[in-house]
Structure 1
């Protein structure tokens, strides 16, 4: 602890003694982490956020970001101080309209409100800041913010918010969002939710306004700035749809449009399997420089490399599936990542069946045969991969095999009932792998411990692909005859794995 931190703690302690004198309540600082076993410093304790209002100004020349984030929250305990996750330079902090002292230290912004905070008290936290995000690194020397030739990308998993707005950065504390960003005229600023239009300012800037009305995790809140072609429409279900295509896509631009413009169609298909689409808007963004695809809530972002071989609806199906598995129902801890990636990867199998390019069974057998028994792939456990393997290919591919094994074991009727029950009962909240297993057993009426132990928690290659009988195993086709769907799924995983 720094000397300044010790002094701040002493002031906070004295303030707490004054505020809480004569009571039996013990005020204390909120925890500097949310208790995630993989990433202990992510998130914070002592309060719950309900809304973020992010109002920014961005100049691509020099990568200059400035602005104010207003956070509406409620204290969940008596507090002498509490933390936000943030890396940029802070100018000032006000809590409930009073100036508050603050200390920035390696991604932790520690705030000390005057007189402390009572449990249940409403909080209005206003943080003003300015910095050059691409020059800011976290404790591991990593920069999640990407400066591009015409703007910037604030996109990332499992973290990104610390490079552009202060937050309680963990999926267990979701909130609604208003994102308003002023950029030079002729530049676009794209984010989540419903597009509320632009406001022309007098200084040669235009402000872009976005609103997310459903609970949203911090890492799923994104900002893409640059020069884009924007296409707006209304889906057959009546929702607003907005897609944006970088003007730097080149020859892959048409293939990108031929894929992402089908978002409403793919969403409609997945809703038949997973339950009603959980959000208020749809769309996608395609840009160079990203290196992967990410399921940002309501509006996934795709690297243009996904479309260099032609149209690729598989990556679109993968990211849209995350709107249910990952966005609406989010992980409770990052060890539960199979609930995101296993099901999104399996959505590619379902889409392959739907378009007649290979059944889910054929895709499962292909994936199983693709990895030899001595491949390290089989030593990563999708149900608990470890912090260094959260985005390992096994979480995706072996994770999808686990989903298919469930389908084979319980039959289609119960399988899809399990999926729809999960997305309905956990809507806008969080879930664990253990909770999903318990729900699958409840809905199917079967005991499934051995199945999940085999596919999620046991190292080594299982004896056979799920759904393939012993007699069929002796007739396994060579993997050189790669189905069309797997060729595209394989590219999806290569790029998705690039942002570990």
Structure 2
């Protein structure tokens, strides 16, 4: 197919303080406990504007990334995370910038005229022109992320660090931004991403889709799925836009479960507080297109028809993980513990299975006691059983400590409200719970959140 768009990424300065301050380079990583080179220091991204031509037959892209950011220090240079792909050129504030590559680190050094204005507090835009075949990355646990080839196209999945396989950015959950993604694909294929579909334009042999995500989103939650999809668009009674895209091979088996999206969103809103986004939905590819489901913002991704329980889990992440995002990958249990507990709550409310029964089953499972959920030993462990099952047990122990369901769910809703669209750490959470309950819960944290080994069963 013709690739109409050049690849570019720009950073532009728009306002701020006077120049003349000598800057220093932003750091090449944020020292995350498990991915120390992920993310970059010295700036905070506020918006990504990505324009892409995608040729699914060759699995090649040509792209322009326009990145608006605010300097958090006086900068002489700064980094973007980008794995593979060829950078043609870059500009900072409309002027050419020197570009250096070192593995997955892309260093941009603006010319002297621009550098004098990259002072702390100023807003600037960056443009990088890039192209090539995006990489499939292998995580420490052996799973695949980044750019994955599917049966009839591709899907981009970014948890934990795969987004750098298809666009340059500040690739850490602590830096969230709004997004515009404009993608041109061969006519007959659909390009699905996060947020709301603003337009679809057909021109000759191609179709161009423009997706807009207004609420802040971490880079690991961004997605792009390209293929032949059956799509449906509707609106819930509460005004939330629903968009589903399902591979035709999975459509019949998915229909009944996906029809429950409005019901699930409404139920979770009653439990966790107002739904935090303007859009919802799902992307369903064929089994084996990826090895896992993931909570891509607004529109979770599933490799094959999801069960109701899995849909409840991924939808609850819209509150826990997507709206309230972990400050670092050590805080992953805040995502998965709450999402697992959401499944237990759904089974209690809809299927008559007491939450305590799921707690007891989790307690009995040896897998959940391999390590403390708030302190996985390695990067390969951040998505292992203790983060999910024992994480959910921590939430239930808090509920038992509160000993009042009305107060417990008010606490949960207060948490999602206090950190809506932001990030939070485990320390933020434990401090919030103790302040809200007025209790010293040190013993609970030491036993269930940080303790090694299974405690003795408590007498009923």
Identify whether the pair has TM-score above 0.5, normalized to the shorter chain.
Answer: yes
Change (3 A) 1:364 1:291: same
Aligned to 1:155: 157
- What residue in structure 2 maps to residue 110 of structure 1? 107
Counterpart-to-counterpart distance in 2, 1:62 and 1:106? 24
Distance 1:120 1:334, change over 3 A: same
Is the contact made by 1:70 and 1:126 (CA closer than 8 Å) also made in structure 2? yes
Cα distance in 1 for residues equivalent to 2:297 and 2:145: 22
Counterpart CA distance in 2 for 1:135 and 1:416 is 41
Judged with a 3 Å threshold, the aligned counterparts in structure 2 of structure 1 residues 445 and 220 are, in CA distance, closer, same or farther, namely: same
Matched with 2:319 is 324
Residue pairs, 1:16-27, within 5 angstroms: 25-27=21-23
- CA offset digits 1:203-260 (Å, max 9, x no partner): x1100110000011001010001000001111111121101101232xxx33322112
The structure-2 alpha-carbon separation of the partners of 1:136 and 1:448, relative to structure 1 and needing over 3 Å to count, comes to closer
Q: 1: CA distance between counterparts of 2:46 and 2:409?
A: 32
- Pick one of 417, 421, 430 that aligns with 2:414: 421
Q: CA–CA distance in 1 between the matches of 2:110 and 2:272?
A: 44
| Paired position in structure 1 for 2:134 | 133
5+ residue gaps, structure 1: 1-18, 472-500
Q: Which runs of 5+ in 2 are unaligned?
A: 1-17
Q: 1:314 aligns with which of 305, 309, 320?
A: 309
Residues 3-42 of structure 1 mapped to structure 2, 5 A cutoff: 25-42=21-38
> Residue 225 in 1 paired to residue 221 in 2?
no
Matched, 1:407 2:399: yes
Q: 8 Å contact 1:156–1:294 — kept in the other structure?
A: no
Query: 2:269 corresponds to which residue?
Result: 271
- 1:275/1:78 CA distance change after superposition, 3 Å: same
Q: For residues 392 and 41 of structure 2, what CA distance do their matches in structure 1 show? A: 34
| Between 211-220 and 71-80, the greater mean CA deviation after superposition | 71-80
Helix, strand or coil for the counterpart of 1:144? strand
* Runs of 4 or more consecutive aligned structure 1 residues displaced over 3 Å after TM superposition: 134-143
| Distance in 2 (alpha carbons) for counterparts of 1:140 and 1:237 | 40
RMSD: 1.9
Q: 1:103 to 1:143 in 2, by over 3 A?
A: farther
SS of the residue 1:225 aligns to: strand
TM-score (norm 1): 0.83
Pair 171,238 (structure 1): closer, same or farther in 2 beyond 3 Å: same
Which residue pairs with 1:339 in the alignment? Answer: 334
Contact 1:106 / 1:138 at 8 angstroms: preserved in 2?
Answer: no
2-structure distance, mates of 1:451, 1:118: 45
SS at match of 2:421: coil
Structure 1 residues 132 and 44, CA gap change in structure 2 (3 angstroms): same
Q: Name which of structure 1's ranges 218-227 and 137-146 shifts more when overlaid on structure 2.
A: 137-146
- Once the 2 structures are TM-superposed, how far is the Cα of residue 139 of structure 1 from its aligned partner? 11
Match of 1:257 in 2: 255
* Structure with the higher fraction of residues in strand conformation: 2
Q: Deviations over 1:30-78 (max 9, x none)?
A: 0001231221100001111110001000011110111101001111111
**Mapped partners of 1:138, 1:405: distance in 2:** 32
Label 1:188 to 1:384 Cα distance change in 2 as closer, same or farther (>3 A): same
Distance 1:139 1:112, change over 3 A: farther
Q: Distance in 2 between matches of 1:138 and 1:108?
A: 18
1:321-372 CA-to-partner distances (Å, cap 9, x unmatched) read 1111101110111101111000000000011011124121111112222x2x
* Cα distance in structure 1, aligned partners of 2:216 and 2:354: 35
Check if 1:169 corresponds to 2:171.
yes
Q: Alignment partner of 2:76: what SS?
A: coil
1:302-330 CA-to-partner distances (Å, cap 9, x unmatched) read 111x54xxxx2111110111111101110
CA contact (8 A) 1:417 1:443 kept: no
- 8 Å Cα contact 2:362-2:368 kept in structure 1: no
